[in-house]
Amino acid sequence: MPKPGSKQAVCSCGFKQEAQNVTLTESQKQKTPEIAVIEKETTVNTITDADCNKCANKQAEYWEVQTRAADEPATRFYKCTKCKHTWREYK
């Protein structure tokens, strides 16, 4: 319990200690930026001929990602242009 008239240093974790030679500072929380809501999904991926095994559509977007070691080929991902089903192909 602090003595009357004394000051305490208090941490956000709950630790309290009698303070000596105290310099007080203020800090303000910064506002978090607003998150944009995307109404419509747009694509920048290449569209190719690929058979969707879910809806039998014949076109899909594709992109490649290096998911394994650098000396291994990249993994190609496909996304159906009709039902948005996503699958991958290893080479």
| Residues facing residue 50 across a β-bridge | none
* pTM value > 0.75: no
- 72: in domain: yes
Report the CATH number that the domain containing residue 63 is assigned in CATH.
Answer: 2.20.25.10
Catalytic residue among 34, 39, 49, 71: 71
Using alpha carbons, select from 88, 17, 15 the residue that is nearest to residue 50.
88
Q: Where are the alpha helices (DSSP H) in the chain?
A: none
- Is residue 72 flagged as an active site residue? yes
Q: What is the pLDDT of residues 20-71, one digit of tens each?
A: 776 667 777 778 888 887 777 666 788 999 999 999 999 999 998 888 888 8
Q: How far apart are CA 68 and CA 71, in angstroms?
A: 8
Domain hosting residue 55, numbered range: 46-90
Q: What is the pLDDT of residues 2-24, one digit of tens each?
A: 556 667 777 888 888 777 776 66
Catalytic residue among 18, 51, 72, 89: 72
| Number of structural domains the chain divides into | 1
- Is residue 89 flagged as an active site residue? no
Q: How confident is the model at residue 1 (pLDDT cuts 50, 70, 90)?
A: low
